[in-house]
Amino acid sequence: MGFVYNGNYLAFFEVGRTELMRSFGLVYSKLEESGYQLPLVESYVRYFNAATYDDILEIEAILKLNSINAKLRFDYNVFRAYDLIASGHTTHLFMKVDTKKAVRVPEVFMSDINKLKQKFLNNEI
């Protein structure tokens, strides 16, 4: 079979990011219900090897907790078995849905982030 189209890696990143947030109780729909969105403002992908259509891939997503201000940065690694085939990052900013303007991290999200930070500090995760 052929190689996976390079643009699909950003879709892989999205799945990893969504599942990471969900695993920590940071549900994107809760953010939207509060009137906010997280549009993508920057993306980067570095390819080390090609995935093929039958490959089973593992997506590792990491939220950079120390970089949270008006933006969020997620780092990613894509593995086939134990082989790193791609890595990258995306940066997102918070935007009010009604005004379409960038805003600081909303309280609804920051309270969840602070709980998450505390768990890491207490070695609970």
Element (H, E) at 24: none
Sign of CA dihedral 68, 30, 94, 11: positive
Quick check: 1 pLDDT over 70?
A: no
Q: Which domains does the chain have, with CATH numbers?
A: 8-121 (3.10.129.10)
Instruction: List the structure tokens of 1.
Output: 């079979």
Assess whether pLDDT exceeds 80 at residue 117: no
pLDDT attached to residue 121:
64
For 49, phi then psi, to 5°, come to -160, 165
pLDDT value at 108 more than 80: no
Q: So what's the pLDDT on residue 59?
A: 97
pLDDT of residue 40 exceeding 50, the answer is yes
Residue type, 125: I
Q: Count other Cβ atoms within 10 Å, centred on residue 11.
A: 11
Q: What percent of the chain has pLDDT over 70?
A: 90
Q: Give bridge partners of residue 47 from the DSSP assignment.
A: 86
